[in-house]
Chains A and B, each alone.
Chain A
Amino acid sequence: MDTTHALTALVQNVTAVPLTPVILGILLLLFAAVLFIFIFLVRLSARFKEAIYPAHEYARKEAEKKAQQIVSDAHEQARSIRAQAEMNAGELLVARKRELNAFDESHRKELEELANEAKVLLQKHKETIGQLAEHSTADFKQHVADMVAVVEKESDSLKQMMNQEGEALKGALSEMAGNLKQEQINVAKKYAAQFEKELERELAEVQEAIAAYRQQRLAIVDREIVHLVEAVTQTVLNKTISIEEHRDMVQQALSAAKKQGVFNV
């Protein structure tokens, strides 16, 4: 009976609790679980990396050791090869030196023989050249004398020819000057005649222009003469006639009109 009451009371309490706080509590629990799983996975990954790293490092160190061994062997071989090469070179140098000494000795003897032969030949040639030089000098002097004679002869001939050409040129120039002078005189006469003719024509034209201008001016005078007379008369009358005389002239004009019978109409 008590248990029943207790369950009934629990059910009543549960049903009495609002729904929203329960859901929030469940969500909080789920969030905590997810966070725990995430942290676990991160740590697991770190351990896995630590387990792999030493094998890789070991392989790298082995490779470095092998490389150092190879380099050391190579240096050793190089030293051995260089020592062998130096030994070979020394042997070759000694052999070459011996050959050169033998060659020098044989050629020195040959050269001494050649020098003796050359001395003998040179003495012979010296004597021959002396004789030839004496003959050549005489020939050269004779040749020069001949050349001088030829040049003098040619010079005289050229001088004579130049004199003749100069005289001919002088004559030709004199003739040309005479012709040119005559031609100038002819041209001057021709142009003088043309100039005179042109001058007469210009003079006639100027005289015609003057006559036309005079006629034009006279025509203007003809046209303007009435105005001129009027202006002069007006000026003169205004200066010489008094106002009374003007009035008299008006009266005379009216009187003349009356005599003509103008006012009878």
Chain B
Amino acid sequence: MKNELLITLRDLLHTRAEVVQAIGVMREFLTKSFFALGEQSVEYEKVIGLYKKEGSDVSDVRVLEMLPRDIWHQFKKDSFNDVLDMVLQELDTVPTLPITVPISFNVQQLSALSEWVRSEIKSEILLDVTVDPEIIAGCRFVWNNTLHDFSLHRYIRDNHESLQNTVVDILNKQSEAREKTNT
């Protein structure tokens, strides 16, 4: 069950952060179902109705609605925490692409990027996205414990001498023009 749950989450979601968030939301959902409502099995509609009534976080509700309904019948009151802990542990074994991007992408952009990565680079992979505006454009990622920098920041650094020469030439020309104007 644990592998099936992890595979389901991996296939449904795109980033490691989304999977961790989903596991947290599921834990809260199951706790509410078994202990707050005192149910012996998960009554999905009843619990989701309670979520909506209480005005819970929209993203939490979206995650819950995205999950297949039959997944909930596999959980028991006295074992669901152990199962979810196990999924969190096995998440480390899932192939992950740590990638740094210049801006924060929304769900649609992450989904598109993830699909491209799964089709072009490796299927069954999760993105581990970090945002760093300093890279300006492009991305930086780790693959097989090696950092690969394909950012504009790296490009500028690699070509800083030619950039310096260009800018100094421009400044010198401006200075000469200003001196001529003054004289």
A264 to chain B, nearest CB (A): 10
B56 to chain A, nearest CB (A): 28
Taking CB atoms and an 8 Å cut-off, the chain B residues in 130-183 that contact chain A are 133-134, 136-139, 141, 143-144, 146, 148, 150-153, 156-157, 160, 163-164, 167-168, 171, 175
Query: Is the beta-carbon distance between A247 and B151 smaller than 8 angstroms?
Result: no
| Cβ-based interface call for B120 (8 A) | yes
Which chain B residues border A221 with CB–CB below 8 Å? 167-168, 171
Of the candidates B103, B117, B136, B148, the one whose C-beta lies within 8 Å of that of A243 is: B103
Distance, CA A242 to CA B1, complexed state (A): 42
Task: Report how many residues on chain A are interfacial, defined by Cβ distance under 8 Å.
Answer: 31
Query: Is the beta-carbon distance between B168 and A233 smaller than 8 angstroms?
Result: no
Of the candidates B102, B109, B168, B171, the one whose C-beta lies within 8 Å of that of A244 is: B109
Contacts A218-B168, A226-B163 known; A250 to B113 CB distance under 8 Å? yes
Distance, CA A222 to CA B166, complexed state (A): 10
Which chain A residues border B121 with CB–CB below 8 Å? 254, 258, 263
Which chain A residues border B23 with CB–CB below 8 Å? none
Taking CB atoms and an 8 Å cut-off, the chain A residues in 183-231 that contact chain B are 214, 218, 221-222, 225-226, 228-230
Which chain B residues border A237 with CB–CB below 8 Å? 102, 136-137, 152
Query: Is the beta-carbon distance between A250 and B138 smaller than 8 angstroms?
Result: yes
Of the candidates A229, A249, A256, A263, the one whose C-beta lies within 8 Å of that of B137 is: A249
Query: Is the beta-carbon distance between B143 and A265 smaller than 8 angstroms?
Result: yes
Query: Is the beta-carbon distance between B150 and A257 smaller than 8 angstroms?
Result: yes
Task: Report how many residues on chain B are interfacial, defined by Cβ distance under 8 Å.
Answer: 38
Of the candidates B101, B134, B160, B175, the one whose C-beta lies within 8 Å of that of A250 is: B101
A261 to chain B, nearest CB (A): 11
Contacts A253-B138, A253-B151, A263-B121 known; A226 to B113 CB distance under 8 Å? no
Query: Is the beta-carbon distance between A229 and B163 smaller than 8 angstroms?
Result: yes
How many inter-chain contacts with C-beta < 8 Å in the A-B complex? 92
A94-110 Cβ-contact flags toward B at 8 Å (1 or 0): 00000000000000000
Contacts A234-B136, A262-B143 known; A229 to B171 CB distance under 8 Å? no
Distance, CA A265 to CA B148, complexed state (A): 13
Interface centre among A228, A249, A252, A256 (most CB of B within 10 A): A249
Distance, CA A237 to CA B138, complexed state (A): 11
Query: Is the beta-carbon distance between A243 and B109 smaller than 8 angstroms?
Result: yes
Which chain B residues border A247 with CB–CB below 8 Å? 105, 109, 112-113
Q: At the interface, is chain A mostly helix, strand, loop or mixed?
A: helix
Distance, CA A50 to CA B142, complexed state (A): 149
A48 to chain B, nearest CB (A): 135
Query: Is the beta-carbon distance between A254 and B137 smaller than 8 angstroms?
Result: no
Contacts A221-B168, A226-B157, A229-B163 known; A254 to B136 CB distance under 8 Å? no
| Cβ-based interface call for B122 (8 A) | yes
Query: Is the beta-carbon distance between A222 and B141 smaller than 8 angstroms?
Result: no
Distance, CA A246 to CA B171, complexed state (A): 32
Distance, CA A232 to CA B164, complexed state (A): 14
Contacts A229-B163, A230-B136, A243-B105 known; A265 to B141 CB distance under 8 Å? no
B98 to chain A, nearest CB (A): 13
| Cβ-based interface call for A251 (8 A) | yes
Those 4 A-B pairs whose CB atoms lie nearest each other, nearest first: A253-B150, A253-B138, A250-B139, A226-B160
